[in-house]
Amino acid sequence: MKQNIRTPSDRPGYGNTRKRGGGRQAVVGLLAVGALLAGCSGQPLAERLSAPTETTTSPETAPAVTAPAGTVLAQEGIAAGHPEAVEVGMEILEQGGNAADAAIATAFAVSVVEPHASGIGGGGVTLIAEPEKEVAAFDYREVVSKSGKIPASGTGVPGFVDGMATLHATYGSMPWNELLQPAVELARDGFVITKFLGERMNDGIGSSIVSEHRQFRTTDGGRVLREGETLKQAELAETIQTLATGGRDEFYEGSISKQLTLVKGLDAATLADYKTEKFEPVRGNVGDYTVVTAPPALPGAGLIQMLQQAEGAGIASDAPGSSPYVDKLMAAWSNASDTVTEKFGDQRFVEVDLSEVLDREQNLKIGSQLEEEASNDSPAGAIDPGNTTHLSVADRDGMAVSMTNTITSFWGGTKSDVVGGFFLNNQLSRFTTVDSPANRPEPGRKSVTWSNPAMVLDGQGRVVMGIGTPGGQQIPNILASVLVPVLLQDQPVQDAVDGPRFHLQGGILAVEGKATKSMKALARANEWKIRETTRSDGVFGSIQALWVDYDTGTIDGATDVRRDGDHAVSKTDR
C-alpha cells in the first residue's frame, strides 16, 4: 500500500469539551491513520483496528459513562510529545494492549519523531500504577562506566532499552516485537518534519550536528531538511528491528553493543552489567491531593517541597502570572533548587535525608514566612533551551504510566556520537553542572538530573493525573505552573497548560511573551533582569498530562502547543 504521510494539521479532527481536563480532546480516527502505519506485522492496519472514536460530551451535561464489565474506566488515553507517537500508542490500546504496552510502543516511536530529545541512546524514569497497588518507580538512566571516567562527550551507558524491556517483562501483555514495529515503520517510511523539529535541525548547534548525517539532508546530500519535508531514518529502522527481533540483549551484549564499545566512555563490561533499578517513589500532600514522583537523584522531592511552600505562602489566592504569584513561586523554587543541587545524589552511593525536605508542616510554615517584599535570591546557572520528552498513559483497567526519557541536551550535545542511527546522550555532564559532594562520578553511578515524571492521587489513593514535561532545569517550574492552578485553584488542566510560564535562573527572570508592568516592577525590586521569550523558543517545555474522572469513568488530556505535543482519548463504547 502506498504510504500517505500526513502533516500534523491533517490528523483527525478535534471537538471542544469543558471537562476538568479542559480544552480540546482528540477524536482518534484510527482508521484514517491506516495508511500511515500500514503493514505492521504484515497486515494492513485498517483491518486490525476498530471504528473511529468519538468526542465525548461534558460531564456537566452528560450522565456518567458505564465502564465495560471488568474494567475501571470507560476510556483510555495517551498524551505524548508528537501526534504520530500518540497514534502509535492509541493503536496499541485499541488492540487490547495495556498502558505499559502503549507506553513502550510510544517511547520507541518518540525516539523516531523526536530524535533530538530522547531515544535508544539515552535513559529515563517511569512511574507506573495499578489499581489498589502502590506506585512503582523504575530508573533506567545512564551510568558511569567501570573506568569511572567521564568522556568529553559526557556520554554514559544508555539505559533506555533495558528500561523498556524491564517494563515489558514486569507489566507487558503484548509481544515485544509487535510493540516495536510501529517505530520501525515510522523510521523506515518517514514522517513530515514539524516546525519545532525543523528549527532544532537548522539552528546553529542542530545544523552543525545533523548536517554530518545523510538522513537529515536532502537526497542530493545538500542542505539540512526543513519543516514540511519528509525525514526517513533507514539505519534507525534497522536498529529498532534488530531490537524487536533479538530483544534487549542485542543492545547490551550483541551486535549493537559491538558498535557502542567503539565510543569513548562505553565498554562491554558495563553494558553487559546494566540493570534497571526499581525504587519507591516519594510523595507529599498538596491541597487535597497527593503528588507522587521519582526519588533522588531526580528532583521530585524538591518539586513537592516547592509546591508545599508555595501553598503555605497562600499562592492559592493569587492569580497565575500576577506579581505576588510569581514572587511566591520563585521564592519556593529558589529553596527547592538549593535542595536539589546541594543535597541530592544517587541514593545507591550517598545517603539523602528527605525527612525535612518532605516535612509538610515545616514546608507550609516556611512558605508562610516567605518574605512578601523583594529578595534577590536566585538559583545559579543559565537558562537553556529545554530538552527531554514525556508521555502519560491510562488504560481502562486503571493502569497508569508517567514516563520521562531523555538524551539530556538536544542531539546529545555538541560532541555526541551517533551509533545505529540514534544519538547518544551527554547525561554525565550533569556531574559538572550540578557540582556538589553528593553528586560525584564513580563507576556505575547516576547523576542528579531534572527529569521529573509525576502522578497525582486523590483522597482514595487513585491516580487522577499523570504529568511531565521536557525543559531541562526549568522542569520543576513548568510542572508547578500547572500543578498549582489545578491542585490549589481547581483550574481545568487545559487552562493551566495554556497559562503563563516563567523561570528564575542566574538572576534572570524568563517570561513567556511580554513582561507586564507588575512583572517588571518585581524584577527591579529583586534586582533581576527580564528575558522575554516566545513559545517557539522551547524554553518552557511541553506538558503531557492526562486527567482521570472516576465519577464519569472518563479520561481527558491537555495539549501543549509550545512544541508538537498532542493527546488522544478513546471512544466510550468499545
Q: Where are the domains of the chain?
A: 74-277+390-450+555-569
Whether pLDDT at 503 is above 90:
yes
- What does the DSSP 8-state code read for residue 162? H
| Mean pLDDT on 29-51 | 34
Whether pLDDT at 167 is above 90:
yes
Asked whether the beta carbons of 404 and 456 are under 8 A apart, the reply is no
Spatial strand order in the sheet of 566-569 = 277-279, 136-139, 123-129, 400-406, 389-394, 77-80, 566-569
pLDDT of residue 514: 93
pLDDT of residue 40: 40
Interhelix angle for 160-171 vs 176-189, to 10°?
Answer: 140
- What does the DSSP 8-state code read for residue 146? T
Cell of 286: 498538596
Cell of 220: 542530493
- In this prediction, what percent of the chain has a pLDDT beyond 70? 85
- Parallel, antiparallel, or unpaired: how do β-strands 77-80 and 24-26 relate? unpaired
| Mean pLDDT on 271-290 | 98
In our burial notation (b when 16+ CB lie closer than 10 A, e otherwise), range 193-224 reads: bbebbbbbbbeeebeebbeeeebbbeeeeeeb
Of 388, 389, 406, 572, catalytic: 388
Residue at 116: amino acid letter: H
Whether pLDDT at 39 is above 60:
no
Whether pLDDT at 17 is above 50:
no
- Size of the chain in residues: 574
User: Residues 6 or more apart from 306 whose CB is under 8 A from it?
Assistant: 329, 332, 333, 335, 336, 476, 480
Distance CA 173, CA 69 (A): 19
Distance CA 266, CA 263 (A): 6
Cβ atoms within 10 Å of 245's Cβ, excluding its own: 12
- What does the DSSP 8-state code read for residue 446? -
Distance CA 36, CA 44 (A): 10
**How far out from the chain centre does Cα 479 lie?**
11
Condensed to tens digits (0 to 9), the pLDDT of residues 523-549 reads 999 999 999 998 878 889 999 999 999
In our burial notation (b when 16+ CB lie closer than 10 A, e otherwise), range 472-497 reads: bbbbbbbbbbbbbbbbbbebbbbbbb
Whether 388 sits among the annotated catalytic residues: the reply is: yes
pLDDT of residue 63: 44
**Average pLDDT for the chain:** 87
| Mean pLDDT on 206-216 | 90
pLDDT of residue 417: 82
For the four alpha carbons of 357, 361, 362 and 364, in that order, the dihedral sign comes to: positive
Whether pLDDT at 483 is above 80:
yes
Asked whether the beta carbons of 481 and 499 are under 8 A apart, the reply is yes
Element (H, E) at 508: strand 508-512
140 SS3 class: coil
- Parallel, antiparallel, or unpaired: how do β-strands 389-394 and 77-80 relate? antiparallel
Say what the pTM is. 0.88
Between residues 1 and 21, which one has the greater pLDDT? Answer: 21
pLDDT band at 370 (very low <50, low <70, confident <90, very high): confident
- Parallel, antiparallel, or unpaired: how do β-strands 14-16 and 230-231 relate? unpaired
Between residues 381 and 208, which one has the greater pLDDT? Answer: 208
**Cis before 74? omega within 30:** no
Condensed to tens digits (0 to 9), the pLDDT of residues 404-444 reads 999 999 999 777 688 999 999 999 999 999 999 999 999 99
pLDDT of residue 251: 98
Asked whether the beta carbons of 108 and 180 are under 8 A apart, the reply is yes
